[in-house]
Chains A and B, each alone.
Chain A
Amino acid sequence: MRNRAIFLLFCAICAIAIPGCGEPAKSIVLWHAYRGREESAIELLARRYEEQHPGVTVDLLSIPFDAYSSKLGAAIPRAHGPDLFIDANERLGVYLRDGLVAPVGDALPDAEVGAYDKTSVDAVTLGGVRYAVPLTNKCLALYVNDALVKSDPKSIEEISRLRASLPDDVYPLAYEAPNSFFHAPFLYAFGGRMLDDRGRFAFQGEAAAKSIDFVRDLTLARVVPVEPDGALVTRLFASGHAATAINGPWMMSELEGTVSYHVIPLPPIEAAASSSTHGEMKPLLTVEGVMLSPTGAEREEVRAFARYLAGEDSALLRAGLGQQVVARSDVWQNDLIASDLKLKAFHDAARAAVPMPTSPAMRAAWVPANQAIVKVLRGDAKSVDALEEAAARFADAMRPQPPPPSPAPLLVALGAILLGLAFYAVRRAQNPSFRVAVRKSMPAYRYVAHAAIVIFALVIVPLAAGALASFFAGTETHPLYVGMTNYVRILTARGGPLLGHGSFYLTLLVTVLWTLANVTLHVAIGLVLGVALSRPLLRFKAIYRVLLILPWAVPSYVTALAWKGMFHRQFGAVNAILKALGAEPVSWFSHFSTAFAANVATNVWLGFPFMMVVTLGALTSIPKDVLEAAEVDGATRLQRFFKVTLPLLKPTLLPAVVLGAVWTFNMFNVVFLVSGGEPDDSTDILVSDAYRWAFTRDAQYGYAAAYAVLIFFLLLGGTRLLGKVAGSEEGIT
């Protein structure tokens, strides 16, 4: 029996390992994040290529968009990534820095450059070297509702004049105003830009201020809806509640079967016209292209396949079947393709577009820019001040790394710890009684060995790796040892005021407040409902129980997104109720108190069922006699609850409170999804702030890791403290 099990295990290991051990197959591996029509097109192309080139196989791997670049970053340096992959040009800077891409070489020879749109080729060219073969252009254009707009608007002002003729609940123009990607055309129209040539933050100064002020006026005039997200823009336009919308080609698939519309390039802004510009709206252009990994670029058949994918025949198919705005100018001469006026409009828009900056700094620029726009649109700050603050935040995130200190202190400390441990181990091992004890407990060790191994591999190792990462700065591929600098910077609030914006202490304060508010409400509501549900004479008890446990059963991010929607200023259910009651609608995410309250409301909704279930369970262990004894002793209902029930629940509730506090302290989902830190990162808690340092502020993984280590020690200390309180109560039961 045992031998058979070992044999089976061996077979399983072989089945996993052997395909990886064999000679690398001569297939071409292509990664993409396409869905739907685009995916069908790329698959068809791959199969055709295989037919035309016998002996070559193409393996397509579709990767979810969210995980795409991190998977590339993890796979390519370890030589099990793709030979080529399809990605957007704006990521080139990061990929280049991390060594994930190589020049395309003869996949896009000089002779063929002329066949492509010039802007597209420019977008994938860095320092005169081409790093991708352009496939498609994606940029913003104007969707126009045929029924609501008689003739194509010649300017944004003309759209805003539609306000007078449109019904009250129809907006002349819908777009994601708080998002700087959608704001960019306005910025460029006024002559501003996002980054300067050296990758510095350029979203400031007069032009930028004017562009935001212009949009604020549009919002105030109810030309543009307040703070819409992408889903809302689509919904407004699809339901005929927006006469025009600024959006990319991705909205087309969602409009099928809704309203009749057409697409035109973005019209200019008259107010922006000056001697230097004509007020042209220039959207940011994302060029998707085939990129080659360093190993893939060395293989001729890979480069040939890349050339094929971007070639004329393929482009026709991608445009026709895949509905892509292909980046080749020659294809648009084809009548069949050019007859698709919507696609053609996007292609025309792309010509006027500004290629998306490829600098890695762009990643750190979006959030401060968005925050500045939101602040101005809400009237919380003047545009000039908001932009100055944005620039400062960008600089804070992008501040240069300190000179690497000597790693000697860390190594000495590590060495001393290891030496101490070794000394201790030897001392223990020499003790004969210890050896006897170990031999005696051998069977016990055998029982727990698998659990210990799993915990070591899944908990201890990542923990140690995370802690180690906190001593480094830079990227995964180019780590830079910085010693304790990350900790010093965090604990000195990066030289700013201790309770200033983004300081560790301010965030910690918010986190503690967040935890206290939530746990208090969880316990209070859970207790009340638990006690109410345990009343023996209650009817329909089972139904209430199920209904009240329901919030717990729904995945927390679903709940969080639903609540975020409910708190929307214009279209949310909460404000609708307030309005129906005659109260002023509240802009929930524009003040700390209301945004914090929205977060707490969501998390309380998520968290009370746990405490309720714990209470229900604990209540069954309280003998009825004891409560009756209290009743006979003269206790009122309230006295019985506070003097008997509650003290008896305490031993069960305390561990639940500790657990709940830890969960809440680290409740990333709700904070990230409901308020998203709004307004102005003020509602962020430590984990969501750590996330931002790692993923939206120039990928400072080391800095984020130091945050995580600090959170770990805070929770360790906190739970030990609560555990001591709980321990002193142990005498009860």
Chain B
Amino acid sequence: MTLPHEQLSTSVSVASASSEVSAPATAPKRKLRCSVRGAKKSFGQNPILRGVDLDIEEGAFAVLVGPSGCGKSTLLRLVAGLEELDEGTIHLGERDVTHAPPRDRDVAMVFQSYALYPHLSVRENLAFGLKLRKTSDKDIDERVREASKMLSLGELLDRMPKQLSGGQKQRVAMGRAIVRRPQIFLFDEPLSNLDAALRAEVRVEIRRNHDQLRATTLYVTHDQVEAMTLADTLWVMNGGVVEQKGTPLDVYERPRSEFVAGFLGSPQMNFFDAKLEKEGDRWLAIGEGARIAIGEERFGAALTEGRTVRAGVRPHDLVRAEEGQPIAGNLHVEIIEALGFEAIAHGWLTASGPRVIARLDADEARKAKSGDSIPLAVTPGSAHLFDPKTGLALDAK
């Protein structure tokens, strides 16, 4: 979490964090497996996608994340061919598939509801797509065996879907995609019907399978934990456009906008209306009851005295002030959520100010109680600044 981002940007091959169309001239090192250009789609009068570009490199795991209604599922269904674009193009590999039906796209999809064929056994479910493609029985057998080994489906092969648990169904749905060996795997919120423990387990399994198969994957979720943990490239969508793309850590550490900053990270980032002031050689964002230290090297020329900004600090960067540390504000504790290894404190800095969430150590949490006042400090260099009008980060390029 605290890795310097300079290091990160070299370790993962992300072309750019901009949502601008990257011209083919600036081609990435690896081949594009899927590229969507200028995708627009409305349902009736209701625009869902307002011009989206999406590139997935061969073998990459791309995750579309965003709140419900942001258009991420629609984008996935457009790639699958289940919906048709109003405007724009879709390429899979070299082929333009904008108007091709799903069966001509060579894609495989895992549905949120799993969508297993209820009248077919697990084995027949796996083999269904292959049979339609007139694959030889021998090949089918082999591929089913391979997939069932990979997903430990061996004992389930002759069961009917209704005899399976949720997790088992999920694995069968993945198996059905894997046996197809498609150009691209599409996942539509595949974990949202599982309970929390199973979700974590399957999440790991999905990543492991991907690492093993190196298959190009487009994954849609509204769960930022899934998004952060699974993605090679993260695409944050909002209101029918891509707000930001990049490696998960890059996006987490350098959110391009207040929306992205607020959407990624749990608990949510604290925001303060503030004014920039220089005290000695230190820049401060002064808000109601808050004095937040700003890292000058990050924002540079964007810092001008008296500028109104939205200052954002993640709860994990808002901690009890050690002795001698500059105090960013005093938290009037309302509720403490003890999580064991740490605790989350909810409260206010001033009675009229915004709600604030801070992180406490487990020891501190044990001592603190509702009504206490706790002095808080900001981890140096962790504060984000956003323009209150555009919502963009002051350091956004």
Interfacial residues, chain A to chain B (CB-CB below 8 A): 623, 625-626, 628-636, 639, 643-644, 647-648, 650, 731-733
Contacts and interface: CB of A to CB of B under 8 A. Distances in A.
Nearest to A644: B117
Contacts of B132: 633-635, 639, 643
A629 B112 CA distance: 11
B187 to A, nearest CB: 12
B119 A631 contact: no
Contacts of A631: 81-82, 101-103
Contact of B111 (A628, A639, A643, A731): A628
Given A626-B115, A626-B116, A629-B109, A634 B82 contact: no
Contacts of A643: 128, 132
A635 B117 contact: no
Contacts of B186: 632
Nearest to B129: A633
B108 interface: yes
B119 A633 contact: no
A168 to B, nearest CB: 61
A628 B129 contact: no
B117 A630 contact: yes
Given A639-B132, A731-B160, A733-B162, A632 B107 contact: yes
B286 interface: no
Contacts of B112: 625
Contact of B119 (A623, A634, A635, A732): A732
A644 B162 CA distance: 16
Contact of A632 (B108, B113, B114, B160): B108
Given A628-B115, A634-B129, A635-B103, 4 more contacts: A631-B101, A644-B117, A731-B162, A733-B162
12 contacts: A626-B116, A626-B118, A628-B80, A631-B102, A632-B102, A632-B107, A632-B108, A633-B132, A633-B176, A635-B103, A644-B119, A731-B162
Interface string B101-140: 1110001110111111111000000001100110000000
Contact of B102 (A634, A644, A648, A731): A634
A647 to B, nearest CB: 4
Contacts of A732: 118-119, 160
Given A632-B81, A633-B180, A626 B117 contact: yes
B371 to A, nearest CB: 51
A394 B43 CA distance: 74
Nearest to A733: B118
B82 A623 contact: no
A630 B132 CA distance: 10
B78 to A, nearest CB: 13
A630 B115 CA distance: 9
Interface string B86-109: 000000000000000111000111
Nearest to A625: B115
Contacts of B103: 631-636
Contacts of A625: 111-115
Chain A CB within 10 A, most for which of B80, B101, B119, B186? B119
B115 A629 contact: yes
Nearest to B119: A647
B328 to A, nearest CB: 49
A632 B109 contact: yes
A646 to B, nearest CB: 9
A625 B82 CA distance: 10
A626 B114 CA distance: 8
A252 B114 CA distance: 75
A632 B119 contact: no
Main secondary structure of the interface of B (DSSP, over half): loop
Given A634-B103, A636-B103, A639-B132, A629 B160 contact: no
Contacts of B162: 731, 733
A623 B113 contact: yes
Contacts of B117: 626, 629-630, 644
Contact of A630 (B101, B128, B180): B128
Nearest to A631: B102
A616 B9 CA distance: 56
A632 B133 contact: no
A648 B133 contact: no
Contacts of B119: 644, 647-648, 650, 732
Contacts of B114: 625
When A and B form their complex, which 9 residue pairs have the shortest distance between CB atoms, in order from nearest?
A633-B129, A625-B115, A629-B115, A634-B103, A647-B119, A634-B132, A632-B109, A632-B102, A732-B119
Contacts of B102: 631-632, 634
A628 B116 contact: no
B101 to A, nearest CB: 8
Chain B CB within 10 A, most for which of A623, A629, A647? A629
Contacts of A731: 160, 162
A647 B125 CA distance: 14
B97 to A, nearest CB: 13
A632 B218 CA distance: 15
A289 B390 CA distance: 105
Contact of A629 (B81, B101, B111, B133): B111
Nearest to A732: B119
B165 to A, nearest CB: 17
B141 to A, nearest CB: 18
B160 to A, nearest CB: 6
A733 B138 CA distance: 30
Contacts of A636: 103
Contacts of A633: 103, 108, 128-129, 132, 176, 180
Nearest to A627: B115
Contacts of A644: 117, 119
A632 to B, nearest CB: 5
A630 B109 CA distance: 10
Contacts of B109: 628-629, 632
A635 B128 CA distance: 9
A644 B108 CA distance: 18
A648 B118 contact: yes
Interface string B49-89: 00000000000000000000000000000001110000000
Nearest to A646: B119
Contacts of B113: 623, 625
Contacts of B128: 630, 633, 643
B93 to A, nearest CB: 17
A472 to B, nearest CB: 51
A639 B134 CA distance: 13
A618 to B, nearest CB: 13
Nearest to A622: B118
A550 to B, nearest CB: 32
B112 to A, nearest CB: 8
A130 B5 CA distance: 123
A255 B112 CA distance: 74
Contacts of A648: 118-119
A632 B80 contact: yes
A650 B133 CA distance: 25
B218 to A, nearest CB: 13
Given A632-B81, A639-B132, A623 B160 contact: no
B163 to A, nearest CB: 9
B82 to A, nearest CB: 5
A380 to B, nearest CB: 52
A692 B115 CA distance: 56
A628 to B, nearest CB: 5
Interface string B150-162: 0000000000101
Contacts of A630: 117, 128
A318 B240 CA distance: 90
A623 B117 CA distance: 10
Contacts of A647: 119
A481 to B, nearest CB: 55
Nearest to A637: B101
Contacts of B176: 629, 633
A353 B81 CA distance: 85
Nearest to B120: A647
Contacts of B82: 628, 631-632
Nearest to A731: B160
